[in-house]
Structure 1
Amino acid sequence: MRLLGSTVWVVGASSGIGAALARELQARSARVAVSARDGAKLARVAGGTMTVVPVDVTDRAAVREAAGLVEAAVGPPDAVVVCSGLWEQGRPGELDLDSFTKHLDTNVLGMATCIAEVLPGMRERGHGSIVGVASVAGYRGLPGAEAYGACKAAQINLLESLRAGLHGTGVRVQTVCPGFVDTPMTSANTFPMPFIITAGQAARAIADGMAKDRSEIVFPLRMAVLMKAARLVPVGLWARLAAPSGTSKTTTTTKEHA
């Protein structure tokens, strides 16, 4: 993908990876539109140099309207990056259905809704890039991340299925799987976060991957190797390796960007 002069719509750009990526893409001479629920935060990210269209990805009608506003302002997007997301740390071995539903609404249905709004136009034009930000947390199940991990696994599968189905149409699908990134979403985590990187580093990795048309963009390298290797561990052994030590006293924390 040629970033210079391209039009990119970044959804989930009010903070964290999305905000850093919007700035990185603009620095590479892309025309950027940004969306998220918090218009004031978006305005600070945009700094008067990006198109700002607030939207809640869980509202289908609002997403449709936002897609129309973006196209009216900057033209049909050459790429749409969906990185809106919710993370709630749960209690290992428990399942909070309210939390699970919120994760599904934002992370899975929110991503699907955004893609569904831009995909017909991209297919009709015969070009475009759909970039979905999932996570290496979707590679294996981890205690305390039952909802988040399941959603990330669903996102990875969704994007992979679309990639296969769109082969030969001119529409590319790119899956982004970050490891730990220092953002407001991870700031309240109470567990070790190995190989953590800054949002700026994550943004550069994503922009590089977009420019090189990589189907999968996974970073940092050490976390990518670790989690891909974890996929090879037998399921019974993985349950023992991933089990929390001691008694579970994990408190629930919530972070979101959308």
Structure 2
Amino acid sequence: MSMNPPLRDWRNKRVWLIGASTGIGRALAEQLHAQGAQVIVSARNRDALEEFVRHHSDSLALQLDITDGEAIRSATDLATKDGAIDLVCYCAGHYKPMRADNIDLAELLKHHEINTIGALKVLDAVIPNMLTRKQGHISLISSVAGFRGLPQSLAYGPTKAALINLAETLYLDLHHQGLGVSLINPGFVRTPLTAQNDFHMPALISPEDAAKAILKGWSHGDFEIHFPKRFTRFMKLLRLLPYPIYFAAVRRITGL
């Protein structure tokens, strides 16, 4: 059953990808452009954005620090100058492994500022126009790390759990007003962020394969898009376990 209007024909659709200099965001930008979308890419890395625009005609680069609310509002004005945004996808993310016996408060706060608060600032900027039009789609990239607590995820996991709850609430509030909302929960994807991990990452996939899975989910009108299924289904099963069994299972699986 489709929970959103299916998005299959991207020709002349305007898509704003925030956090598109590398990883999943960059791969999405490339694949959406190949399918005819007018792609707007944002990130802090100006060189990466300009390189994308040079190789993808009719695209637009908007350098953006998503911790700056005024900059987000200015970028929104520029992004909508030549037409309304059909889909905005919040791909921006920050990750460093952290455990509670080695807390770095500045890093903790940086995770929340980029992963969660940045998303709220973007929503504040784009939702009013979408509500006026009764049209548009909001997509948030979270992670299976937000399902339940995990070792080394003290900084990252809570921010992704917040995005999951946020997307669910957005759907309840906005679906009946004609807006689409989707939640993207990847497993391990080969990106500069996961390159920091010093452990085996099961079912690791490429950003290109992640982008294909997202496009497939949008085309089906899915609310939650999770992949690769061979890993995310296992994580969903863990999510159902009572706490004593869950904690024991995680310690056994991770050795931590």
TM-score by length of 2: 0.92
TM-superposed CA distance for 1:182, in Å, is 0.6
**Conserved? CA contact 2:175–2:181, under 8 Å:** no
Equivalent position of 1:79 in the other structure: 87
Determine the C-alpha separation between the residues in 2 that align with 1:20 and 1:167. 27
Determine the C-alpha separation between the residues in 1 that align with 2:186 and 2:233. 12
TM-superposed CA distance for 1:5, in Å, is 2.0
Matches within 5 A, 1:1-258: 1=7, 2-46=9-53, 47-49=55-57, 50-72=59-81, 74-91=82-99, 93-243=101-251, 245=255
Equivalent position of 2:4 in the other structure: none
Supply the AA of the counterpart residue of 1:17.
Answer: I
Residue deviations 1:174-212 (CA, integer Å, cap 9, x gap):
000000001111112101100010000001111121222
**Conserved? CA contact 1:138–1:149, under 8 Å:** yes
Determine the C-alpha separation between the residues in 1 that align with 2:43 and 2:218. 21
> Helix, strand or coil: the match of 2:94?
strand
Supply the AA of the counterpart residue of 2:15.
Answer: V
More helix by share: 2
Supply the AA of the counterpart residue of 2:66.
Answer: V
Supply the AA of the counterpart residue of 1:33.
Answer: I
Determine the C-alpha separation between the residues in 1 that align with 2:49 and 2:98. 29
User: Which structure carries more relative contact order (alpha carbon 8 Å, separation 6+)?
Assistant: 1
TM-superposed CA distance for 1:93, in Å, is 4.4
Equivalent position of 1:252 in the other structure: none
> Helix, strand or coil: the match of 1:25?
helix
Supply the AA of the counterpart residue of 1:239.
Answer: F
More strand by share: 1
Residue deviations 1:57-106 (CA, integer Å, cap 9, x gap):
1110010011111111x411000010100001113544332211111000
> Helix, strand or coil: the match of 1:111?
helix
Determine the C-alpha separation between the residues in 2 that align with 1:237 and 1:148. 23
**Conserved? CA contact 1:93–1:144, under 8 Å:** no
Which blocks of at least 5 consecutive residues in structure 2 are unaligned?
A: 1-6
Supply the AA of the counterpart residue of 1:63.
Answer: I
Answer with 204-213 or 18-27: which moved more: 204-213
**Conserved? CA contact 1:17–1:202, under 8 Å:** yes
Supply the AA of the counterpart residue of 1:245.
Answer: G
Determine the C-alpha separation between the residues in 1 that align with 2:130 and 2:91. 19
